[in-house]
Amino acid sequence: VLRLAARAPRLTRAAPRRTSSGAQAMPKRAAAAASAADEGKPPAKSPAKKPKAAKPKPKAEKVVLDRDATPRADPSAVAAGAPLVRICLWNVGGVRALLKSDERRALLQRLLSEEQPDVLCLQEHKLQETHLAEVEADLRELAPSHTAHWAVSVPPAKKGYSGVVALVRDGIAAALPRGEGLTAIGRGVGGEVEGKGRKGKKKAQGDASIKSFFAAKDAAGGGDQAGGAAAGSDAATEAAAEAPCGLLSVHEGLGVPVALDRDYNIEGRVLTLDLGSFSLVLAYVPNSGQDLKRLDYRIDTWEEDLKAHLKALEELGKPVVYVGDLNVAHLDLDIWNVGAKHLAKSAGTTPQEREAMGRLLDAGFVDTFRALHPNARHAYTFWSVRAGNRPWNRGLRLDYCISSASMSPSAAETQLPRVVDSFILDHFNTNGDHAPVGCVVAVPPIEK
């Protein structure tokens, strides 16, 4: 046994490695720390382990926001036999684009056929004055019984920007005195237009001031509307006799009796029509813009001037219907995602814009749709195309028919003029952006 033990190899610990100088070698990590200490540097930290990426939260399943029913009134029953003026409005985002689209042309023809509007107001037509004659002729093909009156953006404002147009039924327009109006011919389009720009704002604009806005008109004078029934013809006489009202004058811009010297008044944003028993104001309200760059201008200038314009018209003896893309979602009910943090900094949903709308209504005006449908949910007029919100009805209500309080749907049945119906035609919009809206006004019979 002793011999075997002596022959067995000894199990000894391995000798430490030595450097060339004979010093004992250190592990790499300890050596690095010692080297850093010699140089006066803190020892290098071990690389931190990357935290595991959080698992993305599952997206909430989209659901369609079901619109509450907002049944249409029967105007003939509510109005007790009074004549009716039917008004529709639609932000079309470019008239020429609409006319080039077979689908959208068909929608406009269907709107004209189903609603039979006496006045069809289109906002954001985006035309220059040089385009008016050609586009007016195209519109006459779609609406052969209506005459167009234009408000157009002119220099120094941007060309092909903003713009509104009122297509007025010929029987109503026949009351307009000869030579007045804002048709392409009335604006002097076809030759050079004199006095473009803010100063002396074109004699060619027709009724550029409304000093005689409510002066007595001779309906027998007839109109000189391009493409319409010839003044004094049997067709014109018959159409005028059947019309519920007459167009007595047309005025472009805000300001009574003369349009104000404001940037928005050369952007083609406003038309005011004297329809006999009431004034119709059509507007495309300035958007506060990206980063709200135009918010202060809109609140401090536009909103105050607009309210003053409406009140001045009332003081001249007639109530007002104010329609258009007003670029504001007034109530929580008018916003699909009310409470979202970004709304306070988004054009159309800022507290300042919503409060300005409230101040307008407090000044003696009525949101006619809400007067008839105060609690209707998910009744919107605009859906973001970029976000693809239309299929889910994730929208805003930006388009309105506002009236003087005396014309409210809640006024007495004997009160004329009076709004007897107000509606949203969202079934005309399947892809997003704006839907048409409208109202029906009962008016006193025209004295023959």
Distance in angstroms (rounded) separating the CA atoms of residues 442 and 421: 9
Residue 327, annotated as binding a ligand: yes
DSSP helix/strand/coil, 335? strand
Residue 427, annotated as binding a ligand: no
Find the angle CA(428)-CA(64)-CA(354) to the nearest 5 degrees.
75
Catalytic residue chosen out of the listed positions 118, 207, 224, 325: 325
DSSP string, 6-19: HHSPP--PPPPPB-
User: Which residue reads 């109006």 in tokens?
Assistant: 181
Q: Is the peptide bond before 156 cis (omega within 30 degrees of 0)?
A: yes
Residue 218, annotated as binding a ligand: no
Residue 389, annotated as binding a ligand: no
| Cα separations in angstroms, 254 against 158, 198, 202, 425 | 19, 13, 16, 28
Residue 325, annotated as binding a ligand: yes
Residue 138, annotated as binding a ligand: no
Strands 320-325 and 279-284: parallel
251 is an active site residue: no
DSSP helix/strand/coil, 372? helix
Distance in angstroms (rounded) separating the CA atoms of residues 112 and 87: 11
Catalytic residue chosen out of the listed positions 284, 322, 380, 400: 284
373 is an active site residue: no
User: For residue 265, how far is the Cα from the chain centroid?
Assistant: 17
149 is an active site residue: no
In which order are the strands placed within the sheet that holds 395-396?
A: 395-396, 382-383, 433-434
63, exposed or middle or buried, with CB in 10 Å at 0-12, 13-18, 19+? exposed
Residue numbers in the known binding site for Mg(2+) are: 91, 124, 325, 327, 433-434
Residue numbers in the known binding site are: 91, 124, 325, 327, 433-434
Catalytic residue numbers read 284, 325, 434
